[in-house]
Amino acid sequence: MLVALAGGVGGARLLSGLVQVVDPAEVTAVVNTGDDMTLHGLHISPDIDTVVYTLAGVHNRSTGWGVATESWNVMDELERLGGETWFRLGDRDLATHLYRTQRLGEGARLHEVTTELARARGVEVRVLPMSDDAVRTRLVLAESAGGVAAGTEVAFQHYFVGLRHAVTVSSVRFDGVAEASPAPGVLDAIGEAEAVVVCPSNPVVSIGPILAVPGVRKALVARREQVVAVSPIVAGAALKGPADRLLVELGHESTVVGVARLHAEWVGTLVIDERDAHLKDAVEAQGVRAVVAPTIMSSPQVAGSLAAVVLDAAR
C-alpha cells in the first residue's frame, strides 16, 4: 500500500501518475484541508475536491480546480443579486458542496463524506482528509493589499484567490491544528505503507498543514527511509502558485537545497528536476538522497514516468 501526501493541483497531477503504475485500490491519499472554508453556508474542501475530480478524470484541465464542462448559472444569478462571487463555484461543483454540507449537518465526519464523494465519482484511491477537525490556514500580510492593511491576518482563500496571492506575508499559521487529530486511518496508513510519496504541492500551505496535525510528523520521521518527495521547486521557482515566494518570505530558500533542508528530518529522498541536476551534491549534503528525473508533469505520460521513478526510489 502506498501513501501520498497531497495538496491541490500539484498533488493531483502526481496522484494521476501514480495510479498509472500501481493499483489505485493500493493508494491512500492524505489530503490537506487547511484551504477549507465555509462560504454561502457551504463547507468547501478545495484540495480534496481537486484530488477527487482529477482522479475521476472530470477536473477542469486549464485551471486544475473545479469541474470540466462546467456552467455558471448560479454564480451569474448570484452576481445579479449582489451576492459573493469572488470565489467561483460552478453549478456542478456546487453539488459537491451541497452534498458535503448536508452530510456533515447530519453528523457524518469529513472522512466519511470524502469517501462517499470519491466512491460516487468512481475513484478507487482511498482519499483521506488529513483530519476531520477544522484546521484553517491563516496568513499575516507583510504589506497592505486589496484594501487590507499590513499586519492583518487573512484566511487562506482570501490570500490565494481574493488577493491572488500577489502580496508578501510575514507569517502563516494553521488555526485549530493543535486541537486536531489525524483522520482515522492516516497514522496506520503511514505506518504500514511500502512507500510514502510527498507530492509536489506547496511545502508551506499544502504539505505544512498535514505535517502540523499532531502525530503525523512523528509517524513520517519513523518512516523516513521510505519517504520520497518530489520537489515543488524547479530551478528556483514554483511551477504554479506562490510556493517559491512563501518559502523566501518565511525565511527559507526557494531552491531544491532549501526544500531538502526544510524536509530533511522526515524525507529520505528528494526527486529533483534535471534542471537542478547540478545541485544534486548540495541536496545530498543536507543528508537527503537526491534522484534526478523530469519532474514537470506536462502530460499524463510524464506523470506516469515520474511516479515510476518515485516508487523505484522508495524501494
- Rounded distance, CA 45 to CA 287, Å? 35
| DSSP single-letter state for residue 182 | B
Give the footprint of ligand FO1 on residues 44-63 (CB under 6 A): 46-47, 49-50
Segment interacting with ligand FO1, rule: CB under 6 A, options 6-14, 142-150, 209-217, 251-259: 6-14
For ligand FO1, which residue has the nearest CB? 8
Quote the CA–CA distance of 125 and 115 in Å, as a whole number: 9
Which residues between 137 and 176 bind ligand FO1 (CB under 6 A)? 157, 160-161
Minimal distance, residue 138 CB to ligand FO1, in Å: 14
CB atoms within 10 A of CB 42: 17
CB of residue 289 to ligand FO1, shortest distance in Å: 28
Q: Is 87 in the site for ligand FO1 (CB under 6 A)?
A: yes
Beta-ladder partners of 155: 138
The gap from C-alpha 154 to its chain's centroid, in whole angstroms, comes to: 19
- List CB contacts of 83: < 8 A, sequence separation 6 or more: 40
Cβ 250 to ligand FO1 shortest distance, Å:
17
Decide if residue 34 touches ligand FO1 (CB under 6 A). no
Q: Does 33 bind ligand FO1 (CB under 6 A)?
A: no
User: Please, what is the minimum distance in Å from the beta carbon of residue 223 to ligand FO1?
Assistant: 25
The single residue among 38, 88, 105, 300 that binds ligand FO1, judged by CB under 6 A, is 88
User: What CA–CA distance (Å, rounded) separates 309 from 96?
Assistant: 34
Written as one string, the DSSP assignment of 230-264 is E-SEETTEESSSSHHHHHHHTT--SSHHHHHHHHT
Question: Closest by alpha carbon to 2, among 195, 187, 183, 191?
Answer: 195
Q: Which is nearer to ligand FO1, 3 or 199 (CB)?
A: 199
66 counts as binding ligand FO1 under rule CB under 6 A: yes
| CB of 88 vs ligand FO1, minimal distance in Å | 3
Contact residues toward ligand FO1 (CB under 6 A) are 7-9, 35, 46-47, 49-50, 65-66, 87-89, 93, 157, 160-161
